[in-house]
Structures are given as structure tokens and as C-alpha cells.
Structure 1
Amino acid sequence: MVRPRFPIRTCFPIATKVSLHPAVFYLPAFIRCFLRHRAASSPRRPTSLSRVRFLRKSPPHIRRRKRSRMEGRGFWQYMVAGSVAGMAEHMAMFPVDTLKTRMQTVAVSSTSSCCPRGQSNVGSLLASIVRSEGPSGLYRGIAAIGLGAGPAHAAYFAVYEICKGRLGGDRHDGYHHPLIHAASGVAATVASDTVFTPMDVVKQRLQLRSSPYSGVRDCIVRMLRDEGIKSFYASYRTTVLMNAPFTAVHFSTYEAVKKILFEISPENSSEERLVVHLTAGGSAGALASALTTPLDVVKTRLQCQGVCGADKFGSSSVHMVMKKIVAKEGPRALLQGLKPRVLFHTPAAAICWSTYEAVKSFLQKNTHESSS
């Protein structure tokens, strides 16, 4: 009697009626026997194609090269989609942003021409601007947004998507990952605010009623000459401190609402996806903007300090500026511009997310078709 060369069957008894993935049969015989034995002994963990791929995965350097190539391809898609979404959002909602800026800039007891007393509500302020300056008064400084919103949102969404992928926030495991989405959003806003803050300062100074600047170029030149380059980043720390909790709430809320809505309505039609992105984006924008209004007031005061009668602060400390505002005007001053801010961010986030998801899906589909 000839002794078998490899008595694998005596070590791993083969169980009948155990179904494995067809790809398993391309593996060596002893691995197939082992997998059958494990599948029979633990039916809750059937052998799947992902486990087979794990057994036959590529060498590390091939995996790294493949992952970097995929991330590089996705990175420019995120940047293009984010740039288009940012431009669409800010251009559509710029008049509301002008109202918010004028309401937040001036103290309640001030007689400054930035926003005269008695025009502390949205309706009267809007009527006053249209009557005294015409409809074009609502669009002063829009050129600065055109220069800043595109690059800033390109960095914003690209950094968010890359961080979310690296941290595992895009896993389809049936769970929410709010902390991962919040951390990715904070990383994204640090990168975005570095690009956007200088143009945001220029934009807000041009939005004031009696702005001494004739345009974007004049504002930049005079700020550099009179105040130095530091004036462009006077509110950077406040902006990051405001946008960090804003984006943490914003992204985690958006991802959670989107996941819930997709679970309620799993159909994959383009119309339903658009409704989901609009609803999730609007909910995230409303909640995040309402919670961070006091920090936005501080940021606006710092960016417009000393311009056409606005108060000037000797320190850029958030705590000190907030303390001075409360001491002079009361706690309600920290909620100035709440209504226009929520009115701005609710539709703005809905427009931004729906545009971003649509452009990203279009680019990914075209890239997939061209590569196949």
C-alpha cells in the first residue's frame, strides 16, 4: 500500500453541502480543504471573495502603487467637483451674505453708516440697500468670491474625501462614523481657510455700505500699504476656531442624514439621489450655522474693524473680542445676523452638496467608461 504524500484529508475532514465562492477553486488543494473545514465548523463566517482576495493579495509595493494611482485620480475629481460646487454656492447666495455682513459689522448702539440703526432686521435692511444703492449693492465684492471660492472649495472637498477614505469613514458596514467625518471636516477646513481667508477679508470690506474701496484690486493694494500682509489673516485663528466646529457638525450631520435617507429609500434613481443630497445638505447647513453664529460675529468684527466706523479691537483673541462685545452691547449682540446666516447656509449647503455629488458622479462615471 502506497502511503499518500500529503494526507490532508485526515487532518481536515471535508464537510458536504458547504458552498464556497467559485474563485476558491483556483486555490491550491490544501487551502480549499482548509476553507471547507472552516466553513463547515463556523457557518456564520462563510468564505467570501474578499477573504480569497486576502489570501491571494498583491505584494505590498503593488498595492501601494495601485492605491496611490486611484487616490491621485480621485483627488483631481474631488477638486474639480468642489470648485464648481463652491462657485455655485457663493454666487447664488451672495446677496444674503451681504445682509449678514452688514448686520454683524456694526454695534447695536452705533450710528455708523455700515448698517444704520433701525435696520437690524432682514427686510428693512434689504429694502434700504435696494433703495439707496440699487440691486448692485447686494453684489459688492462678488469678484473676490470668484477668486477665492473655487480654489478654497477644491482643497476643502479633496482633503475631506482623502482623509475620510484613509480613516475608514467610507466603509459600508452599516454603522455611522460621526467622529471620522468630523475629524476629516476639521482637516479640510484648515486647508480651505488658508486659501479663502484673504479673499474673504476683501469681500467683507467691499460689502460694507460706505466702503472706501473701489474694487478688489484697490482693496488689496491699500490693505498691503496701510496695514501690511497680516491684515489679510487677522481673523484666521477665529475663522479656523469657528469653522472647525462648524465643519465637524456639518459633515457628520450630512453623512448621517444621507445614510438614513438612503436606508429609508434605497432606490438608486438620479432624482431620489438629488433629493437626498439637497435634504441632507440643507439640514447640515442649518444646524451648523445656528450653533456657530457667535463665533461668526467675532470673525466679522475682526475682519472689518476700523472700516467706516466699525469698532476697532486691540487684540485678535476670540475671548477678548467676545468679552468686549458682550460688555458694550449685551449677550444678544453675539446672535446678530443669525437669521440671514441660517438663511444663507441652509440653501447654500443644499446647493453645494447636490452640485458636488452630481459633478463627482459625472466625472467618476466618465473616467470609468474611458478606462474600461
Structure 2
Amino acid sequence: MRLAGSMATLLHDAVMNPAEVVKQRMQMYNSPHQSALSCIRAVWRTEGVGAFYRSYTTQLTLNIPFQSIHFITYEFMQEQINPHREYNPQSHILSGGLAGAVAAAATTPLDVCKTLLNTQENVALSLANVSGHLSGMANAFRTVYQISGVSGYFKGVQARVIYQIPSTAIAWSVYEFFKYFLTKHKMEKRTPF
């Protein structure tokens, strides 16, 4: 089961990392890209395929603690507010939202470094006297610290938490609903009339 989860994460991030690079470059202030396709072409032509995977190890490093904190917090909250583990939409929504918020806040420094690697933001690189392209998580951590100190690791933490709360609340409530529905349906099939 753990191997399957690990392989799913590796494949997911391999596919989604290039999409994240394009999304973040298009979201940059004064982005020169008018469409996703033009962004892909420009990055490919000027930086090569490696630019789409510059933050891949950072993304993997981000997902491991995020998912760990997320699941641990969800399980802890369920033990506190739903100890009998009954189907209770309110407890699933509350636990899921809080789990996403805690995991998002705790892993924001990794997300900030991933964003810097993906965007190669010129102003930030100039402030840190970085010429060429920034690569590697250690370099991203040093650069963020050099530019903004410890507070730089938590830029956007509120937005990230606000984004994750409904996302994880919905995911957990849907998961718990289908688990309940399928288990109940299976039990009804077994029960003779």
C-alpha cells in the first residue's frame, strides 16, 4: 500500500510539475506569457525541458511532510470530535479543513522555495546576485533567506491556508461519504430479507 502511494506521488508530481511551472509563470506580475501554450514554448526554447522539472525534488519533498501532517491531524481531530468513527459530515468537514490548514501552514517554506524555482523571478534573483538560473532546493532556501530572512519562508501563508481549508474539507467529506455509502450498501447486500 505504501509503495503504491509512493509511486502514485512520483507519477502525479512528474505530470503536474510542468503544469505548476506554467501556472506560476503566468501568474507572475507582468508575465510576458499570453497563453499556456506560448509559455510552454518560451520556457522550452529559452531554458529547455529541465526548467519544467527544476522544482520536482522540492515538490516531492513538499508532498511528504504535507501528506503526513495532513493525515495525522485529520486522524487526531477525528479521535477528538468523532471517537466512535461514525459517519458525521460536520466532523469530517471540520477535521479535513483543519488538517489542510495545519499542513499548508507547516509546509509553506517548501512551497515558497518551489515557487522561486519554478518562476526564476528576476527581481528576486537580482536581489540575491544570482546569475543564470537558480536550481536545487538548498539554493532556493538560501536565496529566500538572503532576500527576506525567516519571514520570507512564510510569504503567502494565509492564502495557502485559505486555499487548502475548503479543498481538504471537501476531499475528506466526499471520501467519508463514499466510504459510508459503499460500506452500508455492502452490508445491506449481505443481510437476508
Q: Which has the higher contact order (CA 8 A, sep 6+)?
A: 2
Instruction: Identify unmatched segments of 5+ residues in structure 2.
Output: none
Over the matched positions of the two proteins, sequence identity in percent amounts to 35
Q: Given the alignment of the two structures, is residue 163 of structure 1 paired with residue 2 of structure 2, yes or no?
A: yes
**Per-residue CA distance 1:131-157 (angstroms, 9 max, x = gap):** xxxxxxxxxxxxxxxxxxxxxxxxxxx
TM-score, structure 2 length as denominator? 0.79
Distance in 2 between residues matched to 1:332 and 1:310, nearest whole Å: 15
Q: Aligned partners of 1:190, 1:329: CA distance in 2, in Å?
A: 31
- Deviations along 1:142-192, one digit per CA (max 9) or x if unpaired, are xxxxxxxxxxxxxxxxxxxx439x9xxxxxxxxxxxxxxxxx5x6653343
Q: Conserved in 1, the CA contact under 8 Å of 2:120 and 2:134?
A: no
Deviations 1:209-241 (A, max 9, x none): 321111122222222222211111110111111
1:340 partnered with 2:154: no
C-alpha distance in 2 between matches for 1:335 and 1:209: 19
Moved over 6 A (4+): none
Match of 2:135 in 1: 316
Q: 2:117 aligns with which of 302, 311, 326?
A: 302
* 1:311 counterpart SS class: helix
Q: Which residue of 2 aligns with 1:107?
A: none
Task: Give 1:334 shift.
Answer: 1.4
Please point out which of 97, 100, 116 is paired with 1:282. Answer: 97
- Which structure: greater helix fraction? 2
- What is the root-mean-square deviation in Å for CA atoms of aligned residues? 2.9
CA separation in 2, counterparts of 1:328 and 1:267? 49
Task: Name which one, 1 or 2, has greater alpha-carbon Rg.
Answer: 1
Structure 1 residue 361, shift from structure 2 partner: 5.0
List gaps (5 residues or longer) in structure 1. 1-161, 167-183
Where does residue 55 of structure 2 map in the other structure?
235
* Structure 1 residues 337 and 277, CA gap change in structure 2 (3 angstroms): same
Q: Pairwise mapping of residues 148-297 of structure 1 onto structure 2 (< 5 A)?
A: 162-163=1-2, 188-263=8-83, 267-268=86-87, 272=88, 274-297=89-112
What SS class does the counterpart of residue 135 from structure 2 fall into? coil
Deviation at 1:359, TM superposition (A): 4.6
For residue 263 of structure 1, give the secondary structure of its aligned residue in structure 2: coil
Kindly provide the CA deviation profile for residues 344-369 of structure 1, in whole angstroms up to 9, marking residues without a partner as x. 2122211222233335555x369859
**Alpha-carbon distance change, 235 to 367 in structure 1, aligned in 2, over 3 angstroms:** farther
Q: What is the aligned length?
A: 184
Q: How far 1:299 moved relative to its partner?
A: 0.6
Q: 1:360 to 1:232 in 2, by over 3 A?
A: farther
TM-score (norm 1): 0.44
Q: C-alpha displacement at 1:330, in angstroms?
A: 2.0
**Aligned runs of 1:82-97 on 2, under 5 Å?**
none
Counterpart in the other structure of 1:357: 176
Q: Which amino acid aligns with 1:218?
A: S
Q: Is the 8 A contact 1:189 1:247 kept in 2?
A: no
> Could you list the per-position Cα deviations for residues 226-278 of structure 1 after superposition, in whole angstroms to 9, with x for gaps in the alignment?
221111111011111122111111112212322443315x554xxx2x11211
Call closer, same or farther: CA 1:318–1:267 in 2, change over 3 Å.
closer
Q: 1:304 corresponds to which letter in structure 2?
A: T
- Call closer, same or farther: CA 1:360–1:297 in 2, change over 3 Å: same
Cα distance change on mapping 1:361 and 1:310 into 2, 3 Å: farther
Find the aligned partners of 2:80 and 2:12 in 1 and give their Cα distance: 28
**Residues of 2 paired with 1:237 and 1:327: CA distance?**
21
Contact 2:70 2:99 (8 Å CA) reproduced: yes
